[in-house]
Each structure stands twice: as structure tokens, then as C-alpha cells.
Amino acid sequence: MPLTVVRHEAVHLYAPPPATQAGVRAVDAILRLHKAEEDAIERARVAIGLTNSEFRTVRYLLQAVRDGRDMGPKDVAVMLSKSNAAVTQVVDRLERLGYVERKRHASDRRAQVLCPTELAAQRVDDAFREFHSAIAAAIGLVDDAEADVVARVLDGVSQGIGATLDPEGESEA
């Protein structure tokens, strides 16, 4: 019984439902997608063997590299909302596991740059591949007009909850 409650709570709508059955089905699908994403992220984190903070750090560092930005321990502290001491522990463990390397900043000898390793990139990419492949495959089954509707609706949901990205890909939330 408790497991059933947890399963249903994850897709419970805490707002008045849409007026039509089609709308209710669409909202249910969005909530199931959200739950599936949360589950996929948790499975990926567990598969890699990291804590939530460690996993988020690796993901932040990988995104920074992909964006062409350097990221140091202070940046991670801000991203995680953690103390410098807590971030040092996270980075120390990631370094021991072979997921992060500390390098000297090119122009500021006192500063460190945290660099994710190829192993970290491979592990995270592998962990998310199934989830992202499922999304791409499902969208691949619809025509362009339907895909545009899906994009418009999901963008509207994202904007409505404040989880938007600006044109440079920076989170505005």
C-alpha cells in the first residue's frame, strides 16, 4: 500500500484539473514525464555511485566545459548553495574517484579550475543516454506540426513554473 501511495503522489495534480478529458490526459502525461525524469536522474546518480551534490557538481562542470567556461570551487559553492568546506569535500572525493582534476587558472595563479575527466563525461553521458534516447524516439514518431505543439506546450509549462533558459542557455529560474 505505501508504495502505491508514493507512485500516485508523484503524479497527483495540486491544482484544478483541465476542463476536458484530453487536457487531463495531457497533464497526466506531463506529470508522468516529470516523474520519469526524476527517476532517470536518480538511477544515473546511483549507477555512478555519487551523492546528489557530487553528481550535480560533475554535471555542472561538464556543462561549463561544453559552454567554454572555467569553473572553480567558488562557482560550485554557489551552484550547490554549499559552504566552501563542503565543496572541498565533494571535490576531494570526485578527484579520488577520477571524475575531476584540479588545474591552475591560466591568468590567476591563486585560483583553481575544476575540470571533469573523460571518465566523468562518459559515465554521465552513458547514464542519461537511455532517457534522452527515449525522448528523441518519441518525438521522432510525430510530424513537425505535432512536434511544434509539444514544444509550445512544454515551453509554456516551463515558463509557467519559472524554469526557463535565456537564449545563451543560462537558467533564469
- Predicted confidence (pLDDT) per residue in 63-110, tens digit: 999 999 999 999 999 999 999 999 999 999 999 999 999 988 777 777
> Which CATH fold topology does 22-161 show?
Arc Repressor Mutant, subunit A (1.10.10)
Query: What is the average per-residue pLDDT within 119-147?
Result: 92
Binned at pLDDT 50, 70 and 90, residue 1 comes out as: very low
pLDDT at 8: 62
φ, ψ for residue 114 (rounded to 5)?
-95, 125
Q: Within 13 Å, how many C-alpha atoms sit on residue 110's CB side?
A: 1
Cell numbers 512544454: residue: 154
Residues 6+ away with beta carbon under 8 Å from 38: 10
pTM: 0.75
Residues 6+ away with beta carbon under 8 Å from 110: none
What SS3 class is residue 165? Answer: strand
**116 alpha-carbon distance from chain centroid:** 16
